[in-house]
Amino acid sequence: MWNLILEIIVIAFLVFLAGQQIYLMVQRKRVGTELDEEAFNAGMRKAQIIDLRESKYFDSGHILGARNLPYSQLKQRYGEIRPDLPVYFYDQGRTLSTRAAIQLHRKGYQHIFWLKRGFQDWKGKTKRK
């Protein structure tokens, strides 16, 4: 009996995780565009480049021209992002970028992009503080 209950709990948890990933995938397509490194690099001179990682990671290395606005502070500081210019997000992967894009889209921002594999695979110019 306990094995059946445990199996049901594990299956329910896996269904929940799969549902969450599907939700994020649908939201990603709805709120912005994922860019590979080449497209990100090509358009970033006309955009606001925002590093969503915490300050200590930003200081240890970031994309040249990026400014740090940690995801943990985005709700309080999103007003620092201009709505009339494209927004280019990146984090270590893409999870925070997706969540940030959803938040900004809800606030009326239209031109939202994020780096496909995040900073972990960035091969372009970087800067250390």
Mean of the pLDDT values across residues 2-17? 91
Q: Is the dihedral of CA 78, 36, 23, 91 positive or negative?
A: negative
Q: Selecting from 3.40.250.10, 1.20.58.220, 3.40.640.10, 3.60.15.10, what CATH number does the domain 32-127 have?
A: 3.40.250.10
Q: What is the pLDDT, as a whole number, of residue 121?
A: 86
CB-CB contact of 126 with 63 (8 Å): yes
pLDDT, averaged across the chain: 92
Mean of the pLDDT values across residues 13-30? 83
Percent of all residues in the chain with a pLDDT value above 70, rounded to a whole number: 100
Mean of the pLDDT values across residues 111-119? 94
Q: Are strands 126-127 and 62-63 parallel, antiparallel or unpaired?
A: antiparallel
| pLDDT band, very low/low/confident/very high, at 3 (cuts 50, 70, 90) | confident
Q: 1-5, 7-11, 121-125: lowest mean pLDDT where?
A: 1-5
Q: What is the pLDDT, as a whole number, of residue 103?
A: 93
Q: What is the pLDDT, as a whole number, of residue 95?
A: 85
pLDDT in tens, 56-103: 999 999 999 999 999 999 999 999 999 999 999 999 987 899 899 999
Q: What are the residue ranges spanned by the domains of the chain? A: 32-127
Q: Is the dihedral of CA 18, 23, 80, 38 positive or negative?
A: positive
Kindly report the three-state secondary structure assignment for every residue of the chain.
CHHHHHHHHHHHHHHHHHHHHHHHHHHHHHHCEEECHHHHHHHHHHCEEEECCCHHHHHHCEECCCEECCHHHHHHHHHHCCCCCCEEEECCCCHHHHHHHHHHHHCCCCCEEEECCCHHHCCCCEECC
Question: Does residue 27 have a pLDDT over 80?
Answer: no
